Amino acid sequence: MSRAKPAEALPPTRESFFVSEFLGSVVLDVARKPVGRIRDFVVGTSQKGPFPRVTGLLLREGFEVFVLPWEDVAIFVHGSVRTRLQREDLIHRAPEDDEIFLARHLLDKQIVDINGAKVVRVNDLKLDFVEGDLVLTAADVGVRGILRRVFGPGLTPTGGRFSDASVPPRLIAWDSMQPLHPRLERLETTLPQEKLRRLHPADIADLMSQISTKERAAVFDKLDLETAAETLHELEPELQVELLEDMPEERASDILEQMPADEAADILGDLEGDRAQDLVKRMDKEAAEEVTELLVHDEDSAGGLMGTDYVSLPAGLTVGEALRRVREAAREAEVLLDVYVVGERDILAGSLSLRELLAADDETPLEKVMRAPARSVPSYAPVSEVIDTVARYDLLSLPVTDPEGVLIGSVSIDDVVARLYPQERAHRRRLR
């Protein structure tokens, strides 16, 4: 019984070629008369499959440029390209609407390497015969591709020969890449959007920081709302603003709703003019209220640093009852470090860590195991006081209260680190 091939595995090939090796080569007819020089390779974009198939050669004869259909090519080897027809029998056809040119549209262009999560420059293109078809199988993104184009196959600047040991090839399989050039949208590899979404948002953000504004918007538009929200948070403030300024308001507000309120407030505070207010108005009422509450605080205060994604429990619960509520809250919480205990009117009464909660007996009243009074700061406290308090008492999170002691937010250790290293993430919360 024959064994199944791995997914997207290529069958054995007879010989490999590179596009640059054939550009300018003379094509002969069956009588060995020249019919033109190769200007480019033609690829159809409407075809399915991970590896685009060559549909013809773009030839130039005198002042005429035409496509030689691939089915009319009889010999294609290094040093010899021939057609099966006589010169006078050749059909000089124009490119089809769904065809593009490999050299013109791909060489020296930026392409996303999905597996490596980086943007690379295409220096050459590798072709292989697969089941009788000449297909594009890989991009050469290394120095070897540049040398091949400048000095010819195998030659070094000194006239010697290069080897895999001296100049190792850097080939990336075409099905691992995603074209970014607008003209290449129809040449996308199998499930490119799904491959892009499988990347970590931080990797997507790194990719987006390396490409042009137009390409950045095209990539971001392909992301679902949750991935888009996580990716937006990873971008630098100026790129966040750029994307939200150019994005339709409905999609922008939907993405902001997916983010924790403090992250959304960070981004909205960087927008110019009325854009922030317009987006807040389109957001869900509850999300809009949370964001607005954060935007009113001074950026250099505890209120400007805090988030509203925390878990608070009434003081009258037992540990067992508290654990059930925490378990429910954990399904939605972005971060869960400590649990806060509140009394009447949500006045902060105490706090305890998840470890302390899990270690206590289920029947024990919550007030017996909580730390009281809780370490906290008022919303108007300067950031320096927040940092000193977190560092002095070795806290993972710090509750923030209003002047009357009502719990209104929490500063996590991540928020403190971000403020200590502003070169990594610099945000302002100010609704202009």
Q: Do 309 and 411 belong together in one domain?
A: yes
Q: How would you write the pLDDT of the chain (432 residues) with one tens digit per residue? A: 444 443 444 444 456 899 999 999 999 999 999 999 999 999 987 777 778 899 999 999 999 999 999 999 999 998 899 999 999 888 888 888 888 899 998 898 877 776 666 778 899 999 999 888 899 999 998 888 888 888 777 666 666 666 666 677 788 888 766 665 555 654 444 335 666 667 788 888 888 887 778 878 888 888 889 999 999 988 988 999 999 998 999 999 999 999 988 889 989 988 887 899 999 999 999 889 889 988 888 889 999 999 888 999 999 999 999 999 999 888 877 778 899 999 999 999 999 999 999 999 999 999 999 999 999 999 999 999 999 999 999 999 999 999 999 999 999 998 898 888 765 544 444 343
Q: For residue 235, give every residue at least 6 positions away whose Cβ sits within 8 Å of its Cβ, in sequence order, or none.
A: 205, 208, 209, 243
pLDDT of residue 349: 95
Q: Count how many domains the chain has.
A: 4
Q: Do 244 and 317 belong together in one domain?
A: no
Q: Do 115 and 87 belong together in one domain?
A: no
Question: Is 205 within a domain?
Answer: yes
CATH number at residue 377: 3.10.580.10
pLDDT of residue 172: 85
pLDDT tens digits, one per residue of 370-421 = 999 999 999 999 999 999 999 999 999 999 999 999 999 999 998 898 888 7
pLDDT of residue 114: 66
Tell which of 296, 331, 362 closes a domain: 296
Tell which of 296, 313, 335 closes a domain: 296
Question: Is 125 within a domain?
Answer: yes
CA distance 222 to 373: 49
Q: Do 261 and 331 belong together in one domain?
A: no
Question: Is 427 within a domain?
Answer: no
CATH number at residue 58: 2.30.30.240
| pTM (2 d.p.) | 0.61
Question: Is 336 within a domain?
Answer: yes
Q: Do 147 and 229 belong together in one domain?
A: no
Q: Do 225 and 265 belong together in one domain?
A: yes
Tell which of 40, 69, 103 closes a domain: 103
Structural domain boundaries enclosing 87: 16-103
Q: Do 276 and 327 belong together in one domain?
A: no
Question: Is 195 within a domain?
Answer: no
Q: Do 96 and 53 belong together in one domain?
A: yes
